[in-house]
């Protein structure tokens, strides 16, 4: 069942991609015998809305979870959820990609003495390269630049946010780490769904969302009026999180 859900979720992600929606409308316009101009107009309007930085940023800010000041204490562990932070090339080089703020903020807390250990939770999010386990790659990259191996705990079997919560709970329980001494780190856009998954498992940890979308705010005419490819990425993430949380609620995961 979990494997089926994983593959269905990947198909679902493809279908709700904003560019796929626009492309589908254009295909309908090509083959439609009536209202061709209407279909094209709808596609162009949606493309503009999906790619407008000002509109996308302000809608996204309603969804993301803001970061509150971290209580002054020392925590046993910070759980860092993966999701495209690193990958591996054919020549075995490790490449940093998306969401680097997640691990950078965790390392900052460790360097400040606020957390003792870091749990890296992420398996393979790929349908094809099932042997590329992100948490293991990330740990190796950090050890290679000088961080001690002993501070990292690797959970590399999870395929999605629900499994992040389930398998992280198993590790916390096995190590007898109190949940109130645990920090959960993921991006602010992803945090709402992630936190609900952890609460569903009974883990009421300290919330530490990072990479706020409001950091994209800029004061320039292009930001308000011109389409931008990066805004499409934000729209795609927003669709993924909003609809993903609905599906997780239906499945009983969150």
Q: Provide the residue ranges of all domains of the chain, joining segments of one domain with +.
A: 2-64+225-251, 75-211
Q: How far apart are CA 81 and CA 196, in angstroms?
A: 14
- Quick one: pLDDT at residue 235? 95
- Quick one: pLDDT at residue 31? 92
CA triplet 228, 62, 232: central angle to 5 degrees?
20
Q: What is the pLDDT of residues 89-109, one digit of tens each?
A: 666 677 777 788 999 999 999
Helix (H, G, I), strand (E, B) or coil at 95: strand
Q: What is the pLDDT of residues 198-240, one digit of tens each?
A: 999 999 999 999 988 865 566 677 888 889 988 999 999 999 9
Compute the Cα dihedral for 104, 107, 108, 109 and give only its sign.
positive
Quick check: 241 and 191 in contact, CB under 8 A?
no
Run of H or E residues at 52: none
- Quick one: pLDDT at residue 246? 93
pLDDT under 70 in the chain at which residues? Answer: 1-2, 6, 89-92, 125-131, 214-219
Q: Which CATH number fits domain 75-211: 3.40.50.620, 3.40.718.10, 3.10.20.520, 3.40.50.1980?
A: 3.40.50.620
Q: Is the pTM of this model over 0.85?
A: yes
Which residues have a Cβ under 8 Å from the Cβ of 238 and sit 6 or more positions away? 56, 59, 60, 63, 189
Helix (H, G, I), strand (E, B) or coil at 27: helix
Beta strand ranges found along the chain (DSSP E): 75-81, 86-88, 94-96, 115-121, 152-155, 182-187, 206-210
- Quick one: pLDDT at residue 251? 92
List the beta bridge partners of residue 206. 183
What are the backbone dihedrals phi and psi of residue 78, each rounded to the nearest 5 degrees, phi first?
-115, 125
Helix (H, G, I), strand (E, B) or coil at 2: helix
- Quick one: pLDDT at residue 68? 81
Which residues have a Cβ under 8 Å from the Cβ of 164 and sit 6 or more positions away? 79, 81, 121, 122, 155, 158, 194, 197
Residue of 64, 96, 101 lying closest to 80 (CA atoms): 101
């Amino acid at each position: 069942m979990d494997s089926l859900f994983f593959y269905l979720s990947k198909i679902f992600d493809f279908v709700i991609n904003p560019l796929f929606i626009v492309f589908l409308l254009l295909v309908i316009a090509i083959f439609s015998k009536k209202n061709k101009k209407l279909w094209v107009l709808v596609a162009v309007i949606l493309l503009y809305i999906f790619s407008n930085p000002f509109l996308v940023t302000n809608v996204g800010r309603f969804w993301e979870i803001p970061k509150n000041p971290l209580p002054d204490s020392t925590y046993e562990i910070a759980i860092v959820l993966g999701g495209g932070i690193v990958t591996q090339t054919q020549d075995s080089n490790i490449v940093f990609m998306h969401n680097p703020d997640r691990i950078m903020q965790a390392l900052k807390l460790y360097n400040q003495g606020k957390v003792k250990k870091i749990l890296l939770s992420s398996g393979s999010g790929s349908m094809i390269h099932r042997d590329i386990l992100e948490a293991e790659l990330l740990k190796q990259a950090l050890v290679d630049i000088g961080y001690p191996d002993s501070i990292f705990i690797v959970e590399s079997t999870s395929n999605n946010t629900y499994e992040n919560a389930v398998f992280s709970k198993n590790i916390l329980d096995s190590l007898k780490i109190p949940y109130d001494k645990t920090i959960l780190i993921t991006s602010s856009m992803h945090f709402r769904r992630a936190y609900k998954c952890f609460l569903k498992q009974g883990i009421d940890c300290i919330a530490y969302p990072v990479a706020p979308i409001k950091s994209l705010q800029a004061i320039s005419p292009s930001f308000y009026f011109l389409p931008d490819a990066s805004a499409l990425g934000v729209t795609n993430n927003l669709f993924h999180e909003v609809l993903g949380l609905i599906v997780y609620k239906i499945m009983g995961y969150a």
